[in-house]
Amino acid sequence: MRTTLAIFLTLFLVSCIESNPQPSPGKTDAPETPGNETGADTKGSQNLADSDSRFDGAVNLDAREAGPEPTDLNGEMTDALPTDGSDGSSEDTLYPTDGGAPDSIDLHEEDLPADTHETPDEMSVEVVIGDSQLRGGGSYFGECFGACKMDVTVDGDHVNFVASNWDDTIYVDNDGTLTEAGLAKSKELAAALVGVELEEVYGCPDCDDGGGAYVLLRRNGMDSKHDYPFGQPFTALTGCDEFIKELTSALAGCQSTDNIIVGGDCGPLG
């Protein structure tokens, strides 16, 4: 019985050895594969590569979460955003130069216009009015008797009216003072004509005994005289003609108006 059991165990061990051969000493347990001719163990290297791959995936994921990488106007990649904590909106931020955009935007306070609280038109009108004024005007008739000439002279707010004849006979010589409204109007009328091209003579003054008229202007310090047929002023001079007629009527009749106050020694033209 013991002998039979011993034989059975011996056969069992032999069969186990044949089915599971043991490696010989010094031989590695890794099979040889193409690219691994030395038969070295690559298991550790493979694990490291897998770890690096997983690490790269985490970095790329973070980049995707941060948003798309910056591109220029042509869709090409640009430099990374500033790493100094700014948002890239400072004046040193560079922009693509191939599209004509400036390399930088640098505005300084001294480059900005000063706040004058006035428009250019307002400032220019003030300068013009300060040295512009309707300086006078009048009328004349060549074939007449009596007061053939009526002349009004304006100097600041002082107004003088003289009615005379061609032989220098003076019939009346009256003075008056422009009111604040009259003085402003005399300046505004002349200022409105600054830059307007005016002729010295319009039409045919005093032709066919029709009489003539004129106005004297000072525009931006320059004096000028403009003649035209009586009652037919050039369109741009209509306001001046009407104002001179008002002053003439007031001083000839010694009647003050809203624009002029006649002097106390005024003598009406009879």
Domains, in order of start, for the chain: 125-257 (3.30.1560)
User: Strand (E) positions, the chain?
Assistant: 133-140, 149-155, 158-164, 170-178, 212-219, 222-229, 260-262
Q: Using alpha carbons, list the distances in angstroms from residue 162 to 36, 55, 170, 188.
A: 128, 108, 7, 24
Q: Which of 16-30, 74-88, 155-169 has the highest mean pLDDT?
A: 155-169
- Looking at residue 14, what is its pLDDT? 59
Per-residue pLDDT of 8-46, as tens digits, reads: 666 766 566 655 555 544 444 444 444 444 444 444 444
Sort 71 into a burial class: Cβ within 10 Å, 0-12 / 13-18 / 19+. Answer: exposed
pLDDT at 209: 87
Predicted confidence at residue 150, as pLDDT, reads 97
209-229 average pLDDT score: 96
* 138 burial type by CB count under 10 A (0-12 exposed, 13-18 middle, 19+ buried): buried
pTM: 0.54
The Cα 249–Cα 270 span in angstroms is 13
pLDDT tier, 61 (very low <50, low <70, confident <90, very high otherwise) = very low
Name the strands in the sheet holding 222-229, side by side, starting at the edge strand that comes first in the sequence: 222-229, 212-219, 133-140, 149-155, 158-164, 170-178, 260-262
